Chains A and B, each alone.
Chain A
Amino acid sequence: MAYTLHFAAAMLACWLIAQVLAGSTWTWRSPRVAILCWQAIGLGVGLSAMGLPIALGLAPYQRGTGSALLALADDLRHDTLPAGLGAVHLGLVGVGLGIGAVLLTTTVRSVHASVRAQRRHRDLLTLVARRDPTVPGALVLDHPGAAAYCLPGVRPRVVVSAGTLSLLDRAELAAVLTHERAHAQERHDLVLLPFTALRRALPWFRWVRAAHERVSLLVEMRADDKARELHAEAPLAGALRRFAAAGNRITPVGALGVGDRDLDVRVQRLLVTARPPRLLGGTALAVTTTVAALPISLFLS
């Protein structure tokens, strides 16, 4: 029973920390640490969700979850199940393994879908995008709307639309390109992948969706930081404002999506240069690592 309680505690801790982390603003000052914290929480939640029913089902063994699982496998093979271990217990173990299988298949399917969509996108880019001397290393889409993005992969592509070229001046454009290259270099698509998969596996949990949105914003902030290292704040903030204004132009007030609020936050944080909160970040990292390590150690016990 103690093991079940430990898993439950880890789960609860993950949920509480996620609530605190989603609401705190220090994360904006050190996005990389915050991303690591979210990853630890994600791992902790996944493992605890599997471990909770498994540990409950294995309670009759009265030993560590990992060794109890091995013992169960052994007993099943020899058909010598211990007394007190009924169908309900076996069912619970099955539920736990099932959760693990669902998480795994969702991730695999998510990867598969992304790879296919990216290949299609890449093929289309080959056919319709052009190179432009004003943006070396990037592809240009001839469309008046403003868009700038990175198609991730082994050979990533940075793409801007013609609308973006006319919207931004040269310094702003350079900052945006550095921002997109940072996404490509640090493989931010892989950072987001498990959260996209988790969101797809558990679409009805609001806080899973919130976690995904938080991490998306943090990834943007991390790329903003890379761009400001190279080009200073002004051009990047300028580019963000112009993007926001391009949208605001004909959208009635109040009809803005989440993306637009995030845009404000990103501009705001570029205007104030604050030192990253090392103590707070270190503490958060230590706490989240612990909640991720707890279920791991339980499975190894």
Chain B
Amino acid sequence: MTRLGDLERAVMDVLWDAVPVTSPGVSVREVAEALDGRELAYTTVMTVLDRLAGKGMVQREREGRAWRYCPAASREAYIAQLMLDALDLGGSRDAALVRFARSVTGTEADVLRAALAAEAGLPAGTAPVVAAAPTDGPDRGLSDRVDAPQVDGASRPDLADETAER
């Protein structure tokens, strides 16, 4: 199972790092070629992509006789979603995570939510659902917003202060 997880991750990395040239998405053959070092069978890559599509992690579109795949959301959006879960800001207690401590500020929470909302093409403040309504191709602008200076300001200068105190 671990190996399958590794494969899924490698395939997603290919999709996220792909630069859309002609048409959006990446074909199975292109993914297999990008993972050349692993010497994977074409069918293996197809199976992994199929699984990912089943989980709602990738979107696919038919082009001729083959499918073209693209990520349902950017890597940053998924991280933002996990962070919202982790900080109990996702609006549901369902994941039942046990947290060390809540440390996030209202501003940080807004930034995280905005990142998700922008990804899903919804106005900020609406419930973010990553799986819904993907934009075409990975949204590179997102990382800038998640790494906005105010978030950095929450931890970095503070760290400097505390180190100075010691």
A interface, CB within 8 angstroms of B:
113-114, 116-118, 121, 123-129, 141-152, 159, 161, 163, 166-167, 176, 179-180, 183, 188-189, 192-193, 196, 219-220, 223, 239-240, 242-247, 249-251, 255, 257, 259-260, 263, 266
B interface, CB within 8 angstroms of A:
5, 8-9, 12, 55, 57, 75, 78-83, 85-87, 92-108, 112, 146-147, 150-159, 162
Contact of A255 (CB < 8 Å), options: B87, B106, B153: B106
Contact of A117 (CB < 8 Å), options: B8, B55, B57, B94: B94
4 additional A-B residue pairs with CB within 8 Å, beyond A126-B5, A142-B79, A143-B79 = A126-B8, A159-B82, A243-B101, A249-B155
Count: A-B pairs, CB below 8 Å? 157
Expressed in whole angstroms, the Cα–Cα distance for A143 and B83 within the complex equals 8
A123 touches B57 (CB 8 A): yes
Which residue on chain B has the smallest CB distance to residue A156? B98
B107: which A residues are within 8 A, CB to CB? Answer: 250
A121: which B residues are within 8 A, CB to CB? Answer: 82, 85, 95, 97
A114 touches B94 (CB 8 A): yes
A145 to chain B, nearest CB (A): 5
Expressed in whole angstroms, the Cα–Cα distance for A266 and B102 within the complex equals 13
A263: which B residues are within 8 A, CB to CB? Answer: 101-102
Contact of B103 (CB < 8 Å), options: A123, A193, A220, A246: A246
B155 touches A145 (CB 8 A): yes
On whether A147 and B87 interact (CB within 8 A), knowing A141-B79, A166-B156, A249-B154, the answer reads yes
Q: List 7 A-B contacts (CB under 8 A).
A: A121-B95, A121-B97, A128-B82, A142-B79, A144-B147, A167-B155, A266-B101
A257: which B residues are within 8 A, CB to CB? Answer: 102
On whether A145 and B162 interact (CB within 8 A), knowing A124-B78, A128-B78, the answer reads no
On whether A247 and B105 interact (CB within 8 A), knowing A114-B94, A189-B96, the answer reads yes
